Amino acid sequence: MSLIQVENLSRTFVVRRRVGRFRREAQVVRAVDDLSFTVDRGEMVGYIGPNGAGKSTTIKMLTGILVPTAGRLSVAGIDPSRDRVELTRRIGVVFGQRTTLWWDLPLRDSFELLRRIYRVDTARFRRNLAEFTELLDLGGLLDTPVRQLSLGQRMRGDLAAALLHDPEILYLDEPTIGLDVVSKGRLREFLRSINTERDVTLLLTTHDLQDIEQLCSRVMVIDHGSLVYDGTLAGLHARGSSTRTLVVDLVDAADPIDVPGADVRRVDGPRQWLSFPADASAAPVVAAVAARYDVADLSISEPDIEDVIRQIYTGPDQLRFS
Amino acid sequence: MLYVALAVRAFRRYSTYIAATLAGIFTNCVFGVIISFTYIAVWQQNPDAGGYDVTDALTYCWLAQAMIMTVAIWGGGAPDELAARIRTGDVAIDLYRPVNFLGWWLASDLGRAAYHLLTRGLAPTAVGALLFDLRFPPSMAAWAGFLVAVVLAVVVSFAIRMLVASSAFWLLDQAGVKNLAAVFSMFFSGLVVPLVLFPGWTRDVVMVLPWSAFVQVPVDIWLGRRTGVSLLSGLAFQVGWCVVLLALCALVLRRANRKVVVQGG
Ligand SMILES: Nc1ncnc2c1ncn2[C@@H]1O[C@H](COP(=O)(O)OP(=O)(O)OP(=O)(O)O)[C@@H](O)[C@H]1O
Ligand SMILES: [Mg+2]
């Protein structure tokens, strides 16, 4: 049985809008609309989608802090909204935008409070804290009040806090938001290590596709509350009409290159940009160019995943719902 | 234990604001002196007002100053933090934790009250005793009864403040309700005018309202005006309001929880 099972999950919100001076009109927002997926133990799943797609709403329902309007939901065999307290002991959550730490307390005291809240036994707590302190480089920060921590430092503290009670599942809602490149790299490394070493199942939302590229073998794309893609990252490339680019530096400036299977996109003096389908082999194109022209240099750039995603987000409905 | 740790944490946190504490004590003393002279004038006119003699009245005045922060008569304390967390939405994280929500905030407020009792409570009382002739509890039973009454006063006040803060779940901001509650609290706790001075039937009414648990009941025990059965009935009165108001809190919080979880905040 899968660790996380979501079946026809829906969540609507009723928002009251003012229309005119006195009248208010109730409007129904379908934040999550008939969503179904499963996640198996040990997976690292990226959950992406444009702003307002329903990512956070899904995570809230998976943690039990929001009750679904319709559908079935099972996390580690538990119905989150029915047995939330039971579930909190088995899962960890990190909200990039909020902290579960206490602003006025040194990091160490926050951890100590969490130990009592989750009734983690002392030996295990010490072991975990030592390990996370090492992995997340928290040593120098333990005695600093949380309000004095930088965003990246706080995020590392939050990660440790979410894992102290050895959860089986960790949800991360935009964990890399606002972090610099180095911090993001470290955080990803840490996530990878808890996934492999501790067998923690990860579900993370992000707007940074590098998070997905570097961490997740599987990616789910949600838009307007519905799943529009669920599969590998490679499959996502194939899904969009994505292209690779061959950059050709000719010895002399020439007319646009004419070879089968590729189109010239841009010409700038002796340099020309040719695009060809991402799933086609580059070899025949390169060979054809080299055979017909005097080539000084060649390079190939991979398709930009952001382009692919953008196509899916804004793509035509048949693409979205097929 | 978690709740003890929470109380200790709150105590420590308040103890970092030393300058604020000193300024507050100074203010309490200034008001104590002003009100003392007012009371002296009143009791010169009427030496037996409300059944108090002038020493009782002066003791009442300084103890009331000592209670302002301890019992949080004006509002504030842990429920203010809750209200802030409701406004920012952080309360969802609190609701999600596997702990008793009400117990969590109560522990924190008791820690705060302990700090305020030892500073904003003790200091003005000591200053008052130096400047004026005050009465002290006549027996060990009165001392013990007083201490219990103060704790109960804090709990009653906590429950009321908690109800006020919970209004933020629906109104987003507790400010308006809090101001209203502060007016009620100031008037009906007897902070300014001892409840024993209220005329006729109004006195009977204010004596059974929960706010009389704030100052009037503890002070009467301190003064030795409540002993034996009367002392116990005073404490029972406070316990009764604790139970009713905390039950109301639990009810309101359940609805609030439903609102957050079902309606999405
Ligand atoms: N409590 C709420 N009340 C009313 N509408 C809500 C509530 N929470 C979310 N919504 C609406 O539901 C939709 C999905 O919101 P959600 O926060 O899940 O998006 P998201 O995918 O996390 O977006 P982002 O990338 O911006 O974080 C949005 O249209 C949002 O306005
Ligand atoms: Mg979100």
Q: Which of A10, A55, A224 to mutate to test the pocket of ligand 1 (most atoms within 8 A of CB)?
A: A55
Decide: residue B150, CB within 10 A, 0-12 exposed, 13-18 middle, 19+ buried. buried
Q: pLDDT tens across A93-119, in order?
A: 998 888 999 888 899 999 999 999 999
What 3 state SS string does chain A have?
CCCEEEEEEEEEEEEEEECCCCCEEEEEEEEEEEEEEEECCCCEEEEECCCCCCHHHHHHHHHCCCCCCEEEEEECCECCCCCHHHHHCCEEEEECCCCCCCCCCEHHHHHHHHHHHCCCCHHHHHHHHHHHHHHCCCHHHCCCEHHHCCHHHHHHHHHHHHHCCCCCEEEEECCCCCCCHHHHHHHHHHHHHHHHHCCCEEEEECCCHHHHHHHCCEEEEEECCEEEEEEEHHHHHHHCCCEEEEEEEECCCCCCCCCCCCEEEEEECCEEEEEEECCCCCHHHHHHHHHHCCEEEEEEECCCHHHHHHHHHHCCHHHHHC
CATH number of the structural domain spanning residue A52 = 3.40.50.300
Residue A168 lies inside a defined structural domain of this protein: yes
Residues A212 and A262 in one domain: no
Q: Give B41's pLDDT tier (boundaries 50, 70, 90).
A: very high
Q: What is the pLDDT of residue A216?
A: 92
- Are A66 and A60 in contact by the 8 Å Cβ rule? The answer is yes
Q: Give A236's pLDDT tier (boundaries 50, 70, 90).
A: confident
Residue A73 lies inside a defined structural domain of this protein: yes
Q: Is B84 on the interface with A (CB under 8 A)?
A: no
Q: What angle do CA B186, B188, B193 make, to 5 degrees?
A: 75
* Residue whose pair of structure tokens reads 């307390």 in the numeric block: A105
Residues A202 and A281 in one domain: no
Q: Which of B94, B99, B104 to mutate to test the interface with A (most CBs of A within 10 A)?
A: B99
Phi and psi at A303, nearest 5°, equal -65, 145
* Residue whose pair of structure tokens reads 């609507």 in the numeric block: A12
Residues A72 and A155 in one domain: yes
Q: pLDDT tens across A118-128, in order?
A: 999 999 999 99
For residue A156, pLDDT beyond 50: yes
Residues A148 and A247 in one domain: no
Residues A198 and A102 in one domain: yes
User: Residue B96: which H helix or E strand, with range?
Assistant: helix B91-96
Please state at what angle helix B175-188 crosses helix B140-166, rounded to 10 degrees. 150
Q: Is B199 on the interface with A (CB under 8 A)?
A: no
| Amino acid present at A147 | R
The domain segmentation of chain B, as residue ranges, is 2-257
Two structure tokens written together for A292: 């017909």
Residue A84 lies inside a defined structural domain of this protein: yes
Residues A86 and A221 in one domain: yes
Residue B76 DSSP code = -
Residues of A with CB under 8 A from a CB of B: 11, 13-14, 57, 60, 63-67, 81, 84-85, 88-89, 93, 95, 98, 100, 102, 104-105, 109, 112-113, 116-118
Residues A116 and A191 in one domain: yes
% of chain A with per-residue pLDDT over 90: 53
**Closest by Cβ to B98, choosing from A88, A100, A112:** A88
Q: How far is CA B194 from CA A236, B185, B188, B203, B233, in A?
A: 75, 13, 9, 10, 19
Residues A203 and A267 in one domain: no
- The rounded mean pLDDT for chain B is 94
> Could you give the number of structural domains in chain A?
2
Average pLDDT for residues B206-230, to the nearest whole number?
A: 96
Q: pLDDT tens across A262-313, in order?
A: 888 888 889 999 988 877 888 888 999 888 888 999 988 877 667 777 777 7
Residues A232 and A285 in one domain: no
Give the whole-angstrom CA distance, residue A162 versus residue A154.
12
pTM value is 0.85
Q: Give A241's pLDDT tier (boundaries 50, 70, 90).
A: low
Residue A309 lies inside a defined structural domain of this protein: no
Sheet with A24-39: strands ordered across: A24-39, A4-18, A70-75
Residue A288 lies inside a defined structural domain of this protein: yes
Give the whole-angstrom CA distance, residue A240 versus residue B105.
52
Q: Is B229 on the interface with A (CB under 8 A)?
A: no
Give the whole-angstrom CA distance, residue A248 versus residue B23.
76
Contacts of A199 (CB under 8 A, 6+ apart): A41, A42, A168
Range of the domain at A210: 4-237
* Cα diameter, chain B: 62
Residue A308 lies inside a defined structural domain of this protein: no
For residue B139, pLDDT beyond 50: yes
Provide the 3-class DSSP secondary structure of residue B29: helix
User: Residue B6: which H helix or E strand, with range?
Assistant: helix B2-14
Residues A203 and A111 in one domain: yes
Complex-level ipTM: 0.82
Residues A157 and A254 in one domain: no
Residue A260 lies inside a defined structural domain of this protein: yes
| Beta carbons of A64 and B96 less than 8 Å apart | yes
Two structure tokens written together for B61: 């005045």
Decide: residue B131, CB within 10 A, 0-12 exposed, 13-18 middle, 19+ buried. middle
Residues A202 and A277 in one domain: no
- The rounded mean pLDDT for chain A is 88
